[in-house]
Chain A
Amino acid sequence: MPEGIIPGKRPPTQDRRRNALWMSVFLPGSGLTLLGERRLGRWLMIAFVLFTTFTIGRWPSVSSGLIRGSLDERVAAVFLLAVIAGIWSFSLYRVLRRGRGLEDKGHSHWEITKTQFRKNRPAVVGLVVVLFLYVVAFLSPFLAPFDPNAQEDIVRSRYLPPLSGLFQQVIVLQNGQRLAAEDVDRQGDEISYRPAIREQDQAPAVDLLTIDAGEVRAVDRRLRPGWWRADVHWLGTDKFGRDILSRIIYGSRISLSIGFVAVGIAITFGTFVGAISGYYGGQVDNIIMRLVDMILAFPRIFLVLTLIALFSPKIWLIIAVLGATGWMGTARLVRGQILSLKEQEFVQAAHALGLKTRRVIFRHILPNTMAPIIVTATLRVGSTILVAAALSFLGLGVQPPTASWGNIINQGRDNLLGAWWIATFPGLAIVFTVVAYNLFGDGLRDALDPRLRD
């Protein structure tokens, strides 16, 4: 029987395949549901619809961003189009593969891991949130309602609480007339207010008008017309009138990229060192492990602060320092794995075949150690993000006015009680990001090694 064909399951009929193919051209994912891969098909459909509607809805910004925008906007636009194209082609690819009756048999290590992982709902949620965060980071120019550094009219827009601009007050007069107003305030017999602007682009009225209290029947609240057109400061503004939500969205790029790259560096370096230490053993191993012990004795924050303060806090330096202080765990892990695998027979067999040391390490031993390394990497991103945020908070991270979650919280300290939203929301963003990474990492670990489960 040809390989890959499941005995007992006939390939789909010609008609079905053709239908599925056409459906996939217009609505990726739909074809797959026809061919039996319902869950994957549904996810692809939802993703495709979401991204496409977004692109269409924001087409003016997307197209202008692509052609004339800054680097950020170009990247965002390209990302968006690439994702859509990717979903489309992936779905076609799967349909064609399925159409020929080829299925995953479901028994390789990778397949088993995937199935186990899927059963773990919190882990899947973690993964989805992480992916969502990266999408937000890439698409920030199109998602952020305001420019993160735009200060607008400082006098009017500083320290605005969350949901500012969402509601409008309506003064209902005794004669039934309704006046749209803002900053309604009562002083004795008089009620002062500012007329609410009608047009989106008009500057807010500055003059305060007054009305005799007796003429007013009631003051209502209603949703401001046109509130969805991105005028609302959902999470409030800071000392300079900058929109917090936009700053948080842009700040995510800092945290996510630092996390990802720093851990990547640390893992690579750690794997390399651990491999050498484990493979060569003896004095080399001894020296390296002593060094690791020594560096591990320093609390990471002390080292990072010291190193960054020695130079200037630029983002690439932060990433380098975080990477340089985080490789030790991986080195130990890899060394341990290699030490235990070294004695196993398949290594001796490789040697007997005459393979050189380096080849043995890279082609034969390392693939076996991949799994725990990946799990460690994922879990470390969370802690790296926390350390990076602490750095920004202390003032040694990304410098203002660039927004990063840590430095927004730091700015929030100035007026903790009066403007609590500045310090609170970025912190929540950090918590959710780290929680998502932890859930994902834990799920990976449980899926890869059933012995670690309860």
Chain B
Amino acid sequence: MWTYIIKRILISIPLIIGLATVTFFIIHLAPGDPMALYRNPDISPEVMELMRRNLGLDQPLHIQYIKWLSSMARGNFGISFTAHRPVLDILKEAIPNTLQLTFLALLLDLIVGVVIGVISAIKQYTAVDHSITVTALFIYSMPSFWLGLMLILLFSLVLGWLPASQMQSINADLFGFWHQLWDRITHLIMPVFVLGIATAAGTARFMRGSLLEVIRQDYIRTARAKGLSERVVVFKHGLRNALIPIVTLTGLYLPFLLGGSVITETIFAWPGMGRVAVGAIFARDYPVVLAVNLIAAVMVVMGNLLADITYSLLDPRIRLD
């Protein structure tokens, strides 16, 4: 099995290089001159030229590419045009915040999705099943920004139960540990929900289908013929098999979870990668935009890798390839 894992990791490396290349060339399609941001009648053309050279924008494209690639590999993503700080620092602050959200949203997705899906399958065709199906349908048809706004409207503005934005209250640093923890939790509830509920709905639907399909298999009939109780048949024999495709589905959902962070962080003013990305895009801050795109793609690739490994752990048929 280790050979499988190592092989997958090795394949990922050229993939990541490819991603970097794609990102680079996308950005450099830009018709706008990045220097336009700094255009200021007070600054003389010579100074502009100096700035341009400092930012490396005067060199031919392929040189820029090589330099960029090598510095990327060393973790140097350049300096942000607008914040005048190393991009790496900006990311180092922002990424953990996004990871908090994404990780919790993933948990929400898996736990709620699987449980609801199983319930839906067991009670197939009953009123419970139908209402779950309808609710799931509406949930993943909702725009997440709208859902976020509606939740803020209800829970923050009308009811006042939950905070509307940010990661913590203004004076949170003065709180004791438990108070801080609780404060953080209340700030997490709505963003995590908005980020994860749509994928949870999709997972629930998929889980239902997967379990129903598995229940029809011959080996389930064999399990019943052995005298096992229906509960053991469904939860031990059925569920183990039905969960396997969920791993693949979750891998497919990773880009959506990361992409969803853009909207969610914007609505809830959450200082994460998504919000940084949007700001940078509007400001034409290319180093940041490049870096964020690349990091996001790399995270997806790593997530898929994890998903593949998990898959091979669950499905013995794959293990020995």
Task: Please say whether the chains A and B touch (CB closer than 8 A).
Answer: yes
What would 27 A/B residue contacts be, using CB atoms closer than 8 Å?
Answer: A290-B18, A294-B18, A294-B22, A295-B22, A297-B300, A297-B301, A299-B256, A305-B277, A306-B281, A309-B289, A311-B31, A382-B141, A389-B146, A390-B145, A390-B262, A396-B281, A416-B152, A417-B157, A423-B149, A423-B153, A424-B150, A426-B146, A427-B150, A430-B142, A430-B146, A454-B124, A454-B212
Say yes or no: B137 contacts A435, CB within 8 Å.
yes
Does A303 count as interface, using CB distance less than 8 angstroms? yes
Say yes or no: B143 contacts A389, CB within 8 Å.
yes
Q: Could you list 8 further interchain pairs (A-B, Cβ under 8 angstroms) beyond the known A299-B262, A302-B293, A427-B143?
A: A299-B258, A302-B262, A396-B281, A417-B157, A426-B146, A427-B147, A427-B149, A439-B137
Say yes or no: B146 contacts A302, CB within 8 Å.
no
The dominant DSSP class at the B interface is helix
CB proximity of A253 to chain B, nearest CB, Å: 18
A303 to B157, CA, bound (A): 34
Say yes or no: A299 contacts B296, CB within 8 Å.
yes
Q: Bits for A274-306, please: 1 = Cβ < 8 Å to B, else 0.
A: 000000000000000010011111111111011
B5-19 residues with Cβ-Cβ distance < 8 A to A are 15, 18-19
Q: Bits for A233-263, please: 1 = Cβ < 8 Å to B, else 0.
A: 0000000000000000000000000000000
Task: Enumerate chain A residues within 8 angstroms of B209, measured Cβ to Cβ.
Answer: 454
**Total number of A residues with any Cβ neighbor in B under 8 Å:** 44
Say yes or no: A420 contacts B153, CB within 8 Å.
yes
The dominant DSSP class at the A interface is helix
Task: Enumerate chain A residues within 8 angstroms of B278, measured Cβ to Cβ.
Answer: 305, 394
Say yes or no: A306 contacts B157, CB within 8 Å.
no
Task: Enumerate chain A residues within 8 angstroms of B300, measured Cβ to Cβ.
Answer: 297-299
Task: Enumerate chain A residues within 8 angstroms of B30, measured Cβ to Cβ.
Answer: 310
Say yes or no: A409 contacts B145, CB within 8 Å.
yes
A393 to B149, CA, bound (A): 12
Q: Bits for A316-333, please: 1 = Cβ < 8 Å to B, else 0.
A: 000000000000000000
Give the contacting residue for B146; candidates A382, A394, A409; CB below 8 A: A409
Task: Enumerate chain A residues within 8 angstroms of B157, measured Cβ to Cβ.
Answer: 416-417
Say yes or no: B266 contacts A438, CB within 8 Å.
no
Say yes or no: B262 contacts A298, CB within 8 Å.
no
Does B27 count as interface, using CB distance less than 8 angstroms? yes
CB proximity of A302 to chain B, nearest CB, Å: 5
Given the known inter-chain contacts A302-B293, A305-B277, A417-B157, please indicate yes or no for A423 contacting B141, CB distance below 8 A: no
Interface size class of B (residues with CB under 8 A): 35 or more
* CB-CB nearest 5 A-B residue pairs: A299-B259, A427-B146, A434-B141, A301-B259, A417-B157
CB proximity of B91 to chain A, nearest CB, Å: 14
* Nearest-neighbor residue (CB-CB) of A426 within chain B: B146
Say yes or no: B263 contacts A298, CB within 8 Å.
no
A382 to B301, CA, bound (A): 26
B252-289 residues with Cβ-Cβ distance < 8 A to A are 255-256, 258-260, 262-263, 266, 277-278, 281-282, 284, 289
Does B158 count as interface, using CB distance less than 8 angstroms? yes
CB proximity of A436 to chain B, nearest CB, Å: 9
Q: Bits for A206-242, please: 1 = Cβ < 8 Å to B, else 0.
A: 0000000000000000000000000000000000000
Say yes or no: B152 contacts A390, CB within 8 Å.
no
Say yes or no: B19 contacts A302, CB within 8 Å.
no
A439 to B137, CA, bound (A): 8
Interface set of B (CB-CB < 8 Å, partner A): 15, 18-19, 22-23, 26-27, 29-32, 124, 137-138, 140-147, 149-150, 152-153, 157-158, 209, 212, 255-256, 258-260, 262-263, 266, 277-278, 281-282, 284, 289, 292-293, 296-298, 300-301, 304
Task: Enumerate chain B residues within 8 angstroms of A300, measured Cβ to Cβ.
Answer: 255-256, 259
A454 to B212, CA, bound (A): 7
A396 to B141, CA, bound (A): 21
Task: Enumerate chain B residues within 8 angstroms of A394, measured Cβ to Cβ.
Answer: 262-263, 266, 278
Given the known inter-chain contacts A301-B263, A306-B289, A420-B153, please indicate yes or no for A294 contacting B141, CB distance below 8 A: no
Task: Enumerate chain A residues within 8 angstroms of B152, measured Cβ to Cβ.
Answer: 416
A434 to B142, CA, bound (A): 8
Does A307 count as interface, using CB distance less than 8 angstroms? yes
Does A358 count as interface, using CB distance less than 8 angstroms? no
A130 to B262, CA, bound (A): 29
Task: Enumerate chain A residues within 8 angstroms of B255, measured Cβ to Cβ.
Answer: 296-300
Given the known inter-chain contacts A296-B255, A299-B259, please indicate yes or no for A416 contacting B138, CB distance below 8 A: no
Given the known inter-chain contacts A389-B143, A438-B141, please indicate yes or no for A297 contacting B26, CB distance below 8 A: no
Give the contacting residue for B15; candidates A293, A306, A389, A395; CB below 8 A: A293
Say yes or no: A393 contacts B22, CB within 8 Å.
no
A58-110 residues with Cβ-Cβ distance < 8 A to B are none
Task: Enumerate chain A residues within 8 angstroms of B19, measured Cβ to Cβ.
Answer: 294, 297-298
A298 to B292, CA, bound (A): 10
Does A315 count as interface, using CB distance less than 8 angstroms? no
Say yes or no: A306 contacts B26, CB within 8 Å.
yes
CB proximity of A297 to chain B, nearest CB, Å: 4
Given the known inter-chain contacts A306-B27, A306-B289, please indicate yes or no for A393 contacting B296, CB distance below 8 A: no
CB proximity of A235 to chain B, nearest CB, Å: 15
CB proximity of A427 to chain B, nearest CB, Å: 3
A418-446 residues with Cβ-Cβ distance < 8 A to B are 420, 423-424, 426-427, 430-431, 434-435, 438-439
Does A198 count as interface, using CB distance less than 8 angstroms? no
CB proximity of A411 to chain B, nearest CB, Å: 12
Does A41 count as interface, using CB distance less than 8 angstroms? no
CB proximity of A290 to chain B, nearest CB, Å: 7
Which of B146, B149, B256, B297 has the most C-beta atoms of chain A within 10 angstroms of its own C-beta?
Answer: B146
* Nearest-neighbor residue (CB-CB) of B278 within chain A: A394
Which of B18, B143, B258 has the most C-beta atoms of chain A within 10 angstroms of its own C-beta?
Answer: B143
Does A121 count as interface, using CB distance less than 8 angstroms? no
